[in-house]
Structure formats: structure tokens, C-alpha cells
Structure 1
Amino acid sequence: MKKLVLVIALAIAVVSCDKKQAEVKEVKTAYVDTSVLMKEYTATKDLDAKYKAKGAEKGRQLEAEINRFKQEAQNFQAQAQANGQEWAQKKGAELQKREQMLAQAQQALSQQLQQEGGAEMDSIVSNVKKTIKAYGKEKGYSYIYGTGDSNASVLYAEDKFDITKDILKILNDKYKAPAAKEEVKK
């Protein structure tokens, strides 16, 4: 009798384990090479070009002022001997003050461009994450990992699991669509 109860209990345990295994869903995973994605995404290319142009434009204005300062500094060297030590000290202090102001202006310009560009880049990254999440849900992925940068969570994966090109196409198509609509409005 004890053996019969033990056999029945064992049979029930085996059957319940089989049911649990049958209920376990297949885990579908993939990865995205985030460094390639961000380098090839049209929105990031446009953002980079925008801030290079903005930096060059504002930099030209500052560069013109720096060149005037350099010219004035060279003239100072020649005039210092002719105008005496008192004039040279006074003018030297003025030039030093202007040099500091120009250095501060360069630093402020750099910080301003970084802050503005950083805010826009955060928006792009947020959009990329939303797109990957929507893609994962639509395609039935349990996990989509990121690789390719310092925050990589995949150390190795077979190339067949790389969905970077798929995500990149979706992102670039979505990015082009609003731009095309804006051109039609103009």
C-alpha cells in the first residue's frame, strides 16, 4: 500500500512537472549594437551637423575677436618701449583682462553647445528606447540587449540575433516621415 501511494505521488509529480514545462514560453532574445545604431541614425547625424554648424558660426565671431586681441598684443610689444613702463603696465593689465574674458567666452560657448546638444540627444535616446521597446513587443521578444558601448550588457551573441539594422530602418523611416511632411507644408 505504501508503495502504491508512493508510485501515485511520483506519477502526479512527473505529470505536474511536464505541465509546467509545457507552460513555459520560449524566451526570444536579440541584441542591438547601440554604437552602430547611434552612429548611423539620421537624427543623430543631423544633430551632430547642426551643432557643428552652430559651433562654427558662433566660433567665427569669437575667433574674429581673438584675432583682434592677438593683433593688439603684437602692437603692444612694439609700443611698450616707445610709450614707457607705466603705459606698458596699464595696457598689459588691460590685455590680460581681455585675454581672460575671451577664454571665459570660449568656455561658456562650449558649455552652452554641450548643454543644448545634450538635451536634444537625450530626446533622441528616449525615442530610440521607445522604438526598441515597441519593436520587441510587436515581434514577441522577451529580451533585447544592448551592446557596442561602455554600458554593453552583451559580451557575445551570434550575429543572427543582431536586430540593429531592423531598428535603424524603423528609426530612420520614422525620422524621415515628419521631415517629409514639413517640406510638403512649405
Structure 2
Amino acid sequence: MNKLTLPIAILALLASAATFFYSQPNEQLVYVDINKLVEGYARTKVERAAFEKKAGTLKANVDSLVVNWQDELKTYEKERSSMSKKELELKQELLQNKQQQINNYQQAIQKQIQEEDQKMTQTVINDINDYVRDYGKKKGYRIIFGAGGSGNIMYAEDTSDLTQTVLDGLNAQYQGK
């Protein structure tokens, strides 16, 4: 009986070790290139076009005010010699006030454009993050790294790159396929 105990114990140990290694999830380290996802995502193009249209309209409004102010300044320069001292002072004050108002408006518009850009970018990033999270859960990945060219992932095999697969799925989901 003693002669059988040792071989059975060794077989049991080997069987438990094999079971342990085979029962471990097959973890593969994968990543996506965030920049490629943002640039290749169809919604990015749609959101960016809408943003650029809105920003263009806002900038055109500012440009219109500046042109109008410049025209008033040219008129003032032409008519200056025929104005009284009081009229000159009043006109100069009006032009300076208008210039200050235009500068304030221009700063407000630039701030609004910047906030709209951040909002648009965050909307796209949220879409991508939600999709990658759902994709990872569905495919059984414990971690999907995000690479953005800033040193997060310095090297990875091409087989670890899920960017195109995720991008295709993301665009299909956005387009309702």
C-alpha cells in the first residue's frame, strides 16, 4: 500500500497543478490608440463640423463688429479737421468705448468657443470610453490600456492592438448597424 501512496500523491499533485494553470483565465494584454479612435470615430467628424460652423458664425460676428469700428475710425479721421474740440473729445471717447466693448466681446466669444470645444471633445471621449468598457466586458478582457503617444505604452506587439477592431465597432454602433 505504501508503494502506491507516493505515486498517487504525485499524480494528485500534478493533476491539481494542471487544473490550477488551465483554470486561470487566458489574460492577454491589449490596448487601443486613443488618438486614432478619436480621429477615426464618425461622431468626431459630425461634432467637429457642427462646432466649426458655430465657431465660424461667432467669429464672423466679431469680425463684423471690428470692420464696423474700423469704418467709424476712418470716417472720424476724415472728418476730424472739421470737428470742434468738444466733438473730437466725444468722438474719441465713443470710439475707445466701442473698441473696449469689442475687445470684451471678443474675449467672451473666445472663451465660449473654447468651452464648446471641450464639451464636444468630452462627448466623443465619453462615447469611446463607454464603448471600450462594454467591449472589454463582452470579450472578457480584464484591462484594456489606452495609448496616446504620451508614454503610456512604449511598446506593444501589433497583435495586442485592438484599435481598428474597436473603431469599427464604435462606428457601427454610432451609425446604428
Taking structure 2 as the reference length, the TM-score comes to 0.81
Matched residue SS, 2:26: coil
- The Cα offsets for residues 90-140 of structure 1, whole Å up to 9 and x where unpaired, read as 211211111111111122122223323423432321121111111112222
CA shift at 1:165, angstroms? 0.9
Equivalent residue letter for 1:53: K
- Equivalents in 2 of 1:147, 1:98: separation in Å? 49
- Equivalents in 2 of 1:172, 1:125: separation in Å? 13
Native 8 Å contact 2:27 2:142 kept in 1? yes
Gaps spanning 5+ residues in structure 1: where? 1-11, 179-186
Q: CA RMSD in A?
A: 2.7
Native 8 Å contact 2:147 2:153 kept in 1? yes
Matched residue SS, 1:177: coil
The 1:172–1:19 alpha-carbon spacing in structure 2 relative to 1, beyond 3 Å, is closer
Deviates more, 1:135-144 or 1:95-104: 135-144
1:164 aligned partner = 163
- Equivalents in 2 of 1:156, 1:84: separation in Å? 75
The 1:174–1:15 alpha-carbon spacing in structure 2 relative to 1, beyond 3 Å, is closer
- Equivalents in 1 of 2:174, 2:14: separation in Å? 54
- Equivalents in 2 of 1:21, 1:166: separation in Å? 29
1:71 aligned partner = 71
- The Cα offsets for residues 154-181 of structure 1, whole Å up to 9 and x where unpaired, read as 1111122111111111111111129xxx
Matched residue SS, 1:28: coil
1:95 aligned partner = 95
Aligned length: 169
Native 8 Å contact 1:31 1:163 kept in 2? yes
Equivalent residue letter for 1:105: Y
2:110 aligned partner = 110
- Equivalents in 2 of 1:99, 1:147: separation in Å? 46
- Equivalents in 1 of 2:32, 2:85: separation in Å? 67
Structure 1 runs of 4+ aligned residues shifted over 4 Å read 12-23
Deviates more, 1:120-129 or 1:33-42: 120-129
- The Cα offsets for residues 32-89 of structure 1, whole Å up to 9 and x where unpaired, read as 1111110111111111110111111232233222111111111222222321443222
Native 8 Å contact 2:48 2:120 kept in 1? no
2:80 matched to 1:80? Answer: yes
Native 8 Å contact 2:31 2:147 kept in 1? yes
CA shift at 1:16, angstroms? 6.8
Native 8 Å contact 1:28 1:140 kept in 2? no
Taking structure 1 as the reference length, the TM-score comes to 0.77
2:29 matched to 1:29? Answer: yes
